[in-house]
């Protein structure tokens, strides 16, 4: 909470002193030792002045013994003070020191209560106030053991008095009453010293309560700030879990099985080069606004936003038994939500977007990685890189999952295709599956599939360059566009190439300006007897080429009996 001119002076002073509830163990011990020594010295000097001549109701033997014990007790507390100062100077903590200090202080105050009589002397009020002070200042284990020691000592001594084993209030030889009234030489000093010590203890108690309330207010403000910050990255359930268990955000990690989702806009790099930066940011913000909302709906943790890509984790930091099914349902809804994104883009004169999604179930290290000054919640492991490799095989509107995700999700998936690929860095082939829907609790399916291919009235000459695969680097190869739909085409290439190979293409038999426009696609299958005809899914098409294709579809094409696969 910020200080203003209306903030009371005493409250501002308390805040500047610091909050004992936020101190470390050694500083709290030093605080108790200092208060104890102050009280011990004050009482000792006061008693010496008060009892230069002992009244008849004070036991002289007990009084002299008490003076000796008080001196020895003071030396013990001075010794503890030196130990605590040494710990503080060496910046060390001690788990034993608070136990020693609390046990010693409560036993001493319990013994004092017995000596003067806990039932008839107001010192018992002081004892209770001190115990509350201990409870506020120290951890529960330390405080409970202190209360236990005090209770055992008081009850034990009173039981011994009850059975006439020891005398009640041995510091007195007789009752401090004269003619039925309490002696003034007993009343005045006793009342004064008890009042002073009690008020001091209550002031300390009030100080701790004020600091506690202050800290709670600060925590409330911080919680609100965290919700504003992390509410953009985590679902409400995950965020509340982290706020309730802050230790989950400490530096460190743990091994955890998670389902990783990676999304990417197909051909966005080429698209962004054709637009003004402000339009690119506008388009990305509108896209992420929808996608992030869907991811949070399924309790995904948005770990990274990398350019136009999203890295989402299911199963960390919050455990998620149905993480694979939840991730697949999320991916399907995200793909279906692209219709909303593109409708908004069209209304603002922006190009349409297509997204590919990959999912991988893997074991990773999750946790806060970095330094005490700057860290981030991250996932580390080869499975993250493998998810990226799988994502590179996707085309727009497609969801690819690994074998591990298929097994984790169970028999509720609608698998539309499967193939074996050899990702970069992998020694063995990886089987990936194309998902079209999920049954069961979620019951979702992909919408908006491509329209049917139409056979062109004449084949359109193309030139292509292989960007990936065994034939990478081959340029200017001839090809013919045979069939066409909005998002894909059947193209006869100069020779067979691998499925999932990326191609860069240019139109032939057009003017130089249009022929210079590059467009890109990914080979998704083969057809034809010789295997030279391939299905190609477009990944990036500039507006000029897209307009040319739309003209072909509208004026120079006839329907084909086949549909795209």
Give the DSSP per-residue string, 355-413.
EEEEEEEEEEEEEEEE-SSSEEEEEESHHHHHHHHHHTT--TTEEEEEHHHHHHH-TTE
Q: Per the domain annotation, does 238 fall within a domain?
A: no
pLDDT class for 422, splitting at 50, 70, 90?
confident
pLDDT at 281: 92
CATH code, 423: 3.30.70.1230
pLDDT, average across residues 508-537: 85
pLDDT, average across residues 202-228: 71
Answer yes or no: do 268 and 182 share one domain: no
Answer yes or no: do 108 and 208 share one domain: yes
Q: Per the domain annotation, does 236 fall within a domain?
A: no
Percent of the residues in the chain that have a pLDDT greater than 90, as a whole number: 31
Domain end call among 445, 472, 499: 445
CATH code, 526: 2.40.10.220
pLDDT at 414: 92
Please state which of the ranges 236-245, 360-369, 537-546 shows the lowest mean pLDDT.
236-245
Answer yes or no: do 409 and 513 share one domain: no
User: Residue 255: pLDDT above 90?
Assistant: no
Answer yes or no: do 190 and 297 share one domain: no
Strand partners, 432: 402, 419
Examine residue 368 and say whether the peptide bond preceding it is cis (omega within 30 degrees of 0): no
pLDDT at 402: 95
Is 311:295 a contact under the CB 8 Å cutoff? no
Q: Per the domain annotation, does 516 fall within a domain?
A: yes
3-state secondary structure at position 45:
helix
Q: Are strands 355-370 and 398-402 parallel, antiparallel or unpaired?
A: parallel
pLDDT at 564: 42
Please state which of the ranges 37-41, 44-48, 249-253, 344-348 shows the lowest mean pLDDT.
249-253
Is 332:446 a contact under the CB 8 Å cutoff? yes
Provide the mean pLDDT of the chain.
82
In order, the DSSP letters of 124-173 are HHHHHHHHHHHHHHS-HHHHHHHHHHHHHHHHHHHHHHHTTSS-SSTTBS
pLDDT, average across residues 487-491: 90
Is 142:28 a contact under the CB 8 Å cutoff? no
Contacts of 528 by beta carbon, 8 Å cutoff, 6+ apart: 492
Q: Per the domain annotation, does 232 fall within a domain?
A: no
Answer yes or no: do 371 and 349 share one domain: yes
pLDDT class for 562, splitting at 50, 70, 90?
very low
pLDDT, average across residues 89-118: 88
pLDDT, average across residues 84-88: 88
Q: Per the domain annotation, does 479 fall within a domain?
A: yes
pLDDT at 326: 95
Q: Per the domain annotation, does 233 fall within a domain?
A: no
522 or 64, which is more confident: 522
Contacts of 563 by beta carbon, 8 Å cutoff, 6+ apart: 452, 453
pLDDT class for 341, splitting at 50, 70, 90?
very high
Answer yes or no: do 52 and 152 share one domain: yes
Run of H or E residues at 186: helix 184-230
Helix then strand then coil, % of the chain, to nearest 5: 50, 25, 30
pLDDT class for 225, splitting at 50, 70, 90?
low
3-state secondary structure at position 310:
strand
Quote the longest CA-to-CA distance of the chain: 130
pLDDT at 364: 92
Counted domains in the chain: 3
Answer yes or no: do 341 and 476 share one domain: no
Answer yes or no: do 488 and 404 share one domain: no
Answer yes or no: do 421 and 515 share one domain: no
Answer yes or no: do 63 and 165 share one domain: yes
Q: Per the domain annotation, does 565 fall within a domain?
A: no
Domain that includes residue 180, residue range: 9-221
Run of H or E residues at 438: strand 430-438
- Highest mean pLDDT: which range of 20-34, 79-93, 190-204: 79-93
Tokens for 78, please give them.
Answer: 């001075």
pLDDT, average across residues 105-128: 84
pLDDT, average across residues 276-298: 92
- For the entire predicted model, the pTM comes to 0.59
Answer yes or no: do 22 and 168 share one domain: yes
């Amino acid at each position: 909470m910020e200080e203003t001119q209306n903030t009371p002076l005493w409250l501002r002073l308390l805040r500047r002193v610091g909050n004992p509830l936020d101190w470390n163990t050694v500083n709290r011990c030093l605080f108790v030792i200092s208060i104890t020594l102050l009280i011990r010295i004050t009482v000792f000097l006061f008693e010496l002045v008060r009892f230069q001549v002992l009244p008849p109701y004070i036991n002289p033997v007990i009084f002299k013994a008490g003076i000796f014990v008080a001196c020895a007790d003071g030396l013990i507390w001075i010794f503890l003070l030196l130990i605590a100062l040494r710990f503080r100077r060496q910046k060390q903590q001690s788990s034993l020191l608070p136990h020693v200090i609390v046990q010693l202080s409560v036993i001493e105050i319990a013994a004092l209560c017995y000596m003067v009589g806990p039932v008839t002397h107001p010192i018992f009020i002081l004892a209770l106030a001190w115990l509350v002070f201990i409870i506020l200042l120290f951890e529960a284990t330390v405080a409970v053991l202190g209360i236990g020691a005090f209770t055992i000592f008081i009850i034990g001594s009173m039981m011994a008095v009850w059975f006439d084993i020891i005398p009640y209030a041995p510091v007195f030889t007789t009752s401090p009453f004269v003619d039925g009234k309490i002696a003034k030489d007993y009343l005045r000093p006793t009342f004064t010293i008890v009042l002073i010590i009690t008020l001091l203890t209550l002031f300390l108690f009030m100080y701790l309560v004020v600091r506690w309330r202050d800290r709670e207010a600060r925590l409330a403000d911080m919680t609100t700030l965290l919700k504003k910050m992390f509410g953009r990255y985590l679902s409400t359930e995950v965020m509340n879990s982290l706020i309730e268990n802050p230790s989950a955000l400490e530096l460190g990690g743990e091994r955890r099985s998670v389902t990783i989702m990676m999304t990417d806009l197909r051909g966005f790099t080429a698209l962004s080069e054709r637009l003004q930066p402000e339009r690119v940011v506008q388009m990305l913000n509108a896209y992420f606004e929808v996608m992030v909302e869907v991811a949070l709906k399924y309790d995904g943790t948005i770990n990274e936003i990398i350019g136009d890509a999203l890295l989402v984790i299911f199963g960390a930091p919050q455990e998620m038994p149905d993480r694979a099914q939840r991730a697949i349902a999320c991916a399907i809804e995200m793909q279906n939500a692209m219709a909303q994104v593109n409708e908004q883009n069209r209304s603002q004169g922006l190009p349409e977007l297509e997204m590919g999604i990959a999912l991988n179930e893997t074991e990773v290290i999750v946790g806060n990685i970095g330094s005490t000054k700057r860290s981030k919640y991250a996932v580390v492991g080869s499975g993250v890189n493998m998810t990226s490799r799988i994502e590179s095989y996707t085309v727009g509107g497609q969801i690819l999952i690994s074998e591990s995700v298929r097994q984790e999700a169970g028999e509720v998936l609608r698998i539309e295709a499967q193939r074996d690929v050899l990702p970069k860095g992998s020694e063995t082939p990886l089987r990936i599956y194309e998902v079209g829907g999920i049954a069961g609790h979620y019951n979702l399916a992909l919408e908006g599939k491509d329209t049917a291919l139409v056979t062109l009235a004449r084949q359109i000459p193309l030139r292509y360059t292989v960007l990936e695969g065994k034939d990478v680097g081959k340029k200017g190869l001839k090809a013919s566009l045979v069939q066409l739909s909005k998002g894909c085409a059947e193209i006869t290439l100069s020779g067979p190439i691998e499925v999932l190979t990326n191609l860069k293409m240019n139109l032939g038999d057009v003017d130089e300006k249009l022929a210079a426009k590059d467009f890109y696609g990914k080979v998704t299958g083969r057809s034809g007897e010789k295997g030279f005809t391939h299905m190609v899914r477009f990944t990036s098409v500039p507006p000029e080429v897209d307009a040319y294709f739309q003209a072909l579809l509208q004026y120079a094409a006839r329907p084909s009996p086949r549909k795209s696969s």
